[in-house]
Structure 1
Amino acid sequence: MPIRQFQAHRMHAPRDFKAIADEPLCVEIGAGKGKHALLFSREHPNQKLIAVERTREKFLAMQKQHAIEGQQNLEPINADALPWVVHSLFPKQVEQFFILYPNPEPHNPAQRWLNMPFFEFLLSRLKTDGTVTLASNIPSYIDEAEQQLLQVWTLPFVKEKIPATSARTHFEVKYLERGELCQQLVITKPADYQTRFDTFMPLQGQNPSKED
């Protein structure tokens, strides 16, 4: 399906927005209660991870567990991912994006990640040779994303079956225990890849003017 251009300059700043530094980092979108974020930050102490979760209850659960474990390289954020990314992230800043078991949006396919204009902006924040990992237990979701990568985004990727022993998220544990097929696409950004947002700088908490 055709993708219209994302209107980044129209995005309002998240509530209680705090700017971040222009330094290498990883970002998990829809981090839930933080199972993957906590695991990743323990296993990769030299990589900073920002874990973004919109739902307050899930964010508080992640924050509570993070306070117990205390990883210095993990920062939980309670925000909607789209405005947070636009206001916070710099071009080619992110080493890895994780989007693990997102809402499949069965009644609104335009809101699936690789169908959204926002995905182009997300790619502009990704470093050369950086990756986006998209996981799902719904074969049709993965199949559609694969076709979008081939036909719209023209990006290289690897399609992987997630082993039954994997336990990165609470959803992943539940799906694998049921015997469901869980798959992921690991998408790589080539050196020559360009987007319309490659020079767009973060808004740093500014809000759109009325004439916009």
Structure 2
Amino acid sequence: MKLRELNIAKLPKPKNTHEFLSSEKYSLEIGAGVGLHAIRFAQENPDFTHIAIERTTNKALKMKGRSESHKLSNLIVHQDDAINWVAHNCPDSSLDKVFLLYPNPNPKNKAARWIHMPFFATLVAKMKPGASLVLATNMDFYQSEFLENYQTFEIELKSKKTIHKNNLSEDYRPLTHFEKKYLARSENCYHLEFIKTGAL
């Protein structure tokens, strides 16, 4: 797959900034919605600073309100364009975890899918060696496309799972509201985890 280069200088500056500290552990969630996964992750991983980015104003405000009600000092909510925010704010090799949970599959626009966007190489560059990237989708073509093209980047496949309501453990909790809906409709949900390669 031929990579297109992202011209960061042409991207608008984001509204919000964040100072990254080398001593901290950072996780990033793009398209965090109203924060079901973001809040749970922050609660269960107090050693992480979890940065949740949501473009939609109403969803971001709701997530921020829920975060404040839970008093989560390690959850940072930004209403912004994730590509602009990450490209301008995240230093290279700064992220320990990345979550792409049920992104828009853009079935009619291949160039708008994560694996084909110039930004994806930039996102991988922002990950530390050994960092994980989790992709969740209910679209078989989307996960298949990731599996066919991920070797173009500095990541390797760690695990892949197919989740269905008939094979769930009793204590399984859906990652997002989308996943809860898809499982209720007896759809397959695909979880892929990748690891950033390179020297630690």
After TM superposition, the score normalised by the length of structure 2 is 0.90
Shift in Å, 1:50: 0.5
Cα distance in 1 for residues equivalent to 2:173 and 2:25: 27
Query: What is the Cα deviation at residue 153 of structure 1?
Result: 2.3
User: What SS does the corresponding residue of 2:84 show, helix, strand or coil?
Assistant: helix
Letter in 2 for 1:11: L
Aligned to 2:48, the other structure's residue is in SS state coil
- Equivalent runs, 1:47-196 vs 2, <5 Å: 47-150=48-151, 152-153=152-153, 155-157=155-157, 158-162=159-163, 164=165, 165-192=172-199
Cα pair 1:166 1:172 within 8 Å, conserved? no
Contact 1:56-1:78 at 8 Å conserved across structures: yes
Name whichever of 18-27 and 165-174 sits farther off.
Answer: 18-27
Q: Secondary structure at the match of 2:186?
A: coil
CA contact (8 A) 1:39 1:168 kept: no
Match of 1:40 in 2: 41
Unaligned 5+ residue runs, structure 1?
194-212
What value does the CA root-mean-square deviation take over the aligned residues?
1.6
**Preserved CA contact (<8 Å) 1:25 1:94:** yes
- 1:5 corresponding residue in structure 2: 5
Tell me what 1:14 maps to.
14
Secondary structure at 1:50 match in 2: strand
* Larger strand share, 1 or 2: 2
Question: In structure 2, how many angstroms separate the alpha carbons of the residues matched to 1:30 and 1:162?
Answer: 21
What amino acid is aligned across from residue 18 of structure 1 in structure 2?
T
Deviation at 1:21, TM superposition (A): 2.5
Q: Secondary structure at the match of 1:48?
A: strand
Report the counterpart of residue 201 of structure 1 in structure 2: none
Q: Percent identity?
A: 35
Q: Give the letter for the 1:184 counterpart.
A: H
Q: Return closer, same or farther for 1:91/1:178 CA change in 2, 3 Å cut-off.
A: same
> Over residues 2-40 of structure 1, what are the superposed CA-to-partner deviations in whole Å (9 max), with x where a residue is unaligned?
22111122211113x223223431000000000000000
Mapped to 1, the partners of 2:89 and 2:154 lie a distance apart of 26
Q: TM-score, normalised by structure 1?
A: 0.85
Query: Is the contact between residue 54 and residue 80 of structure 2 (CA under 8 Å) also seen in structure 1?
Result: yes
Residue identity matched to 1:85? V
Secondary structure, in 3 states, of the residue corresponding to 1:104?
A: coil
Q: How many residues align?
A: 191
SS in structure 2 at match of 1:156: strand
Shift, 1:155, TM fit: 2.9
Which segments of structure 1 move beyond 6 Å, counting only runs of 4 or more? none
Mind listing any 5+ residue stretches in structure 2 that lack a counterpart? 166-171
Structure with the bigger RCO (C-alpha within 8 Å, sep 6+) is 1
